[in-house]
Amino acid sequence: MNSGSQDRKVRKHSVLKSFSFAFSGIRAALLNERNLQIHLAVSIAVIMFGVFFGISSLEWIIILLAIGGMFSLELLNTAIERVVDLATEEYHPLAKQAKDIAAGAVLVYAIVSVIIGGVIFLPKILIFLQ
């Protein structure tokens, strides 16, 4: 009996091809996922606010981490939903829990991101309105 190396398909892609797959996944999610489209629109608005208010380098880092984390979690949530839908077409309580828990992770991070935005931008908005 061999070590199983012939039984498994070993796929070796170039780094460029791997990036291509990743960008394809991001594109598919952006085209098909309403929540990701909303996050994109809000992210663009936040970046415009950052430019307008001239936020500091540290504030940019925090904002970009919040935006990147939000997109990453939303993409993971979408992937979990797809895998669950692929695994079963009928209702199953564990499938529902998996999808709900993943959505809950996105919600928690979204709330934290809004708080971060408030801490960074509210003082600047209040000064601007005076």
Which has more pLDDT, 89 or 108? 108
Can you give the pLDDT at residue 12? 75
Q: Is residue 6 part of a domain?
A: no
pTM of the model: 0.84
Can you give the pLDDT at residue 84? 95
The DSSP 8-state label assigned to residue 10 in this structure reads: P
Q: pLDDT tens digit string along 93-123?
A: 999 999 999 999 999 999 999 999 999 999 9
Range of the domain at 60: 15-129
Q: Is residue 27 part of a domain?
A: yes
Can you give the pLDDT at residue 1? 47
Measure the CA–CA gap between 74 and 107, rounded to whole angstroms. Answer: 9
Residues assigned a catalytic role: 74
Q: What total number of domains does the chain contain?
A: 1
